[in-house]
Structure 1
Amino acid sequence: MSRRTALWATGGTVAAGGSLASAAALGRASGKEAAGVEVGGALKIGYLPITDSAPLLLAHKQGLYTQHGISVAKPVMFRSWSSLTEAFISGTVDVIHLLMPMAVYLKYDVGADAQIVAWNHVNGSAFTVAPSIVETAQLAGKTVAIPGWFSIHNILVQKILREAGLTPVIRKTADADRGEVALVVMAPSDMIPALANGTIAGFTVADPFNAAAVASKVGRIHRFMGDVWRDHACCVTLMRGSLIEQHSEVAQNFTNALVEAQIFAREHRKEAAKILSDNFLPQKPKAIERAMTDHLSEHRDAVKNPSWGGQLLQFQPYPYASFTEELVVHMRETLMDAPTDFLNKLDPVSVHRDLVNEELVTQAIASVGGFGVFGQSGTTRQEQIDGETTSGVTP
């Protein structure tokens, strides 16, 4: 498999004439990068300019990595999921936040040496549409942008469209008479301009892009994704498996710092927003603060399940097995313009055991006072998806 294939999931491309290494070779190369830690090299973090990245960035600015005795270089910003994932695969960065379905793809189809060490956050995304769109059915014949084929956004926006009697389509112009809606992958930074000029009628992505669209009167929140799948993992923290294996203490201390940063983000939202605005994110400060704080009163029409709190970006690090398993099932049912044959070979229970490292984050949570700090009761839960009955939890 070529690197071009590896980037299909994100809509990324490789320049014509560029070197196309096999996915297996990319996976092996990424693992060797862990050797840099042994000789004193600083860990390298890659991130996109979205509030999903907050814990990784706050831990650096607050000096939490240093307090835990590890050297971490200033996080490096990327502009698209394709460039971020390529940097991880090639070994340019060691730790990234990544859409969880994309992590599944990188592990099982690309062969990347990767493990999820924590959820980076839950919720924090929305379906934003042009101000003229007040009913989902009005999207017939129009185009909606998503951040990647392998994303919770793609899974949930297709659910929203189908429940309104619409049909998602790819690689074709949507036919309004047939109730079709065209889906396209777009870098988050391009979504607001595309909505403003009418190229698309809506987009689904992480904040602060939804908040920025509302603030600039370019769009309106049609639905919060956390109101469709309660407390779903959007981005996870992805680390090299070889780094965990060869430098377990470094990996544990990094995870400890990450968990502490999540507590800070939960308890000091406006201060966290200012840190992100001053040091890491290019959006306007008001948009970032809006994304980090609760504005339910302004968007009640976009919420069906107010008790879920799905409109609020939240920070909770424990990676629930029930979510991983349900996610794999939903990935199989989602239309994607990307390789998906590998999904049919996966056992959802085995995916969690193989892809997710629960040990590091469990120890980190215990070190800060336990699950109650994050409003959780333990290591199992029942998935709640609007309009669906899920299969339950794994003991």
Structure 2
Amino acid sequence: MTLTRRDLLRAGSGLLVAGAAAGGLAGLAKLGVAAAAGAAPAAGSSGPLRIGYLPITDAAPLLVAHGHGYYADQDLAVARPVLFRSWAGLAEAFLTRQVDVVHMLMPMALHLRATVDPGARVLAWNHTGGSALTLAPHLTDLGQLAGRQVAIPGWWSIHNIVLQRMLRGAGLEPVIRRGASARAGTVELIVMAPSDMVPALAGGFIAGYTVADPFNAAAEARGVGRIHRFLGDVWRDHACCVLLTHEELIDTRPDAVQALTDAVLAGQRAIVADRAGAAATLTDLSYLPQPRPVVTTALNYPPDAHAVVHPRWQPQQIGFAPFPFPGFTAALVENMRQTLIDGDRTFLDRLDPATAHHALVDDRFVRTALDRTGGAAAWGLPADLTRTEEIAV
């Protein structure tokens, strides 16, 4: 399927709307993203696999797998991963087949498949947790956000979903495309590229933001913000980013997809075994532009450095459990229906929470990879690979 920029715009997805809010189409063009799928080989071609990513710790398993040579260990040729600045740019690169594999926001993956790319397939979870709500240092209570702006990385993100639950739990009303009012208790949400958030907070242009690390750790390191709450303290072990590829790659190169999945799981295990070493890999090999101390902190926050509501959940710790639980997808769809979005959300009326998971996720490869690495128990997962979602604002 060939998609043009016009197709993407017509999809009403908020992807390029988000891009406009964080630099617009001109910003995407600067990333070198082609306008049509014909500008690059199809995902099912026999060349090296191409990986796209944002400079966040969510991408760490893909990047550590490359830096440690785990793809080569699987006899899989993989080009050096390509960094993108915004979710809009990464999504467009995926849709136009500039890259074969990405870590993608789970809500955005659902949206892409339902609206513009029925061949999008989730292979596994890339990580769990790893995000936070960071506020200006002088703000100590959510109620102080009334009348202010807060940035999110994308409309179709777990960040938007969890933030809106938090705001409503504090008696505030999230609004879009209209100024916030302290008297009315409203908070305006805007989309911003993660890399723009720290300087925007430092300049006083926004009151806070919710995003993946290391941008939360970076704000604290610079003294321009403080972590108010980890999102994993609201939704336990939620999947933020997932491993996303194209169905034609699965159909034409299943061995490559299995090798990719095996390598990513090896990357996950390497991070858990040595978080400081993973931070060194990510920074010394220039996968992430942030300083090593910031990335090290983001991968391994001290357990007592921030107040948490549910310490048993260890919300400060980014996790790396790869299995995509169907119950999470169902709960995610339900929560997406309750979330304000600046864009066409009519596809949610057609999305059945009970069947959305199996339409999007192909878990054959991660199941095989789990079996090859000791099974569910070796990863601390329930034997029957099911779980009950825990959400508590």
Aligned length: 375
Tell me by how many angstroms 1:82 deviates: 0.6
Distance 1:29 1:173 in 2: 42
Alpha-carbon displacement from aligned partner over 1:294-327 (angstroms, at most 9, x marks no partner): 3221102xx1100011111111100000000000
Does residue 287 of structure 1 match 2:307? no
Which residues in structure 2 correspond to 1:146-165 (within 5 Å)?
A: 146-165=152-171
Alpha-carbon displacement from aligned partner over 1:29-55 (angstroms, at most 9, x marks no partner): 799713322xxx100000000000000
Distance 1:339 1:111 in 2: 16
Calculate the TM-score normalised by the size of structure 1.
0.91
Distance 2:228 2:78 in 1: 39
Which residues in structure 2 correspond to 1:264-275 (within 5 Å)?
A: 264-275=270-281
Tell me by how many angstroms 1:9 deviates: 3.4
Alpha-carbon displacement from aligned partner over 1:260-296 (angstroms, at most 9, x marks no partner): 1111111110000100011200011111000010322
Q: What corresponds to 2:86 in structure 1? A: 80
Q: What corresponds to 1:33 in structure 2? A: 42
Moved more, 246-255 or 203-212: 246-255
Q: What corresponds to 1:335 in structure 2? A: 340
The change in CA–CA distance for 1:285 and 1:32 in structure 2 (over 3 A counts) is: closer
Q: What corresponds to 2:316 in structure 1? A: 311
Distance 1:15 1:229 in 2: 33
SS in 2 for 1:111: coil
Tell me by how many angstroms 1:245 deviates: 1.2
Give the one of 150, 167, 174 matched to 1:168: 174
For the Cα contact (< 8 Å) 1:43–1:94, is it kept in 2? yes
Which residues in structure 2 correspond to 1:209-288 (within 5 Å)?
A: 209-279=215-285, 280-288=287-295
For the Cα contact (< 8 Å) 1:30–1:240, is it kept in 2? no
SS in 2 for 1:237: strand
Q: What corresponds to 1:391 in structure 2? A: none
Give the one of 355, 376, 379 matched to 2:381: 376
Does residue 347 of structure 1 match 2:356? no
Q: What corresponds to 1:12 in structure 2? A: 19
Which residues in structure 2 correspond to 1:353-364 (within 5 Å)?
A: 353-364=358-369
Give the one of 39, 47, 55 matched to 1:49: 55
SS in 1 for 2:14: helix
Distance 2:130 2:146 in 1: 26
Distance 1:207 1:218 in 2: 15
4+ aligned runs moved over 4 Å, structure 1: 28-32
For the Cα contact (< 8 Å) 1:31–1:113, is it kept in 2? no
Q: What corresponds to 1:136 in structure 2? A: 142
Q: What corresponds to 1:322 in structure 2? A: 327
Does residue 119 of structure 1 match 2:128? no
Distance 1:296 1:314 in 2: 14
Query: One-letter code of the match for 2:298?
Result: A
Query: One-letter code of the match for 1:159?
Result: R
SS in 2 for 1:12: helix
Q: What corresponds to 1:392 in structure 2? A: none
For the Cα contact (< 8 Å) 1:114–1:239, is it kept in 2? yes
SS in 2 for 1:57: helix
For the Cα contact (< 8 Å) 2:337–2:348, is it kept in 1? yes
Distance 2:124 2:49 in 1: 17
Alpha-carbon displacement from aligned partner over 1:311-369 (angstroms, at most 9, x marks no partner): 11111100000000000010011001011000111111211111001111010011011
Tell me by how many angstroms 1:87 deviates: 0.5
Distance 1:171 1:197 in 2: 21
Which residues in structure 2 correspond to 1:96-107 (within 5 Å)?
A: 96-107=102-113
SS in 2 for 1:126: strand
Tell me by how many angstroms 1:375 deviates: 1.4
The change in CA–CA distance for 1:29 and 1:318 in structure 2 (over 3 A counts) is: farther
Distance 1:155 1:82 in 2: 18
Instruction: Give ranges in structure 2 of 5+ residues lacking alignment.
Output: 1-5, 30-34
Query: One-letter code of the match for 1:336?
Result: I
Distance 2:40 2:370 in 1: 27
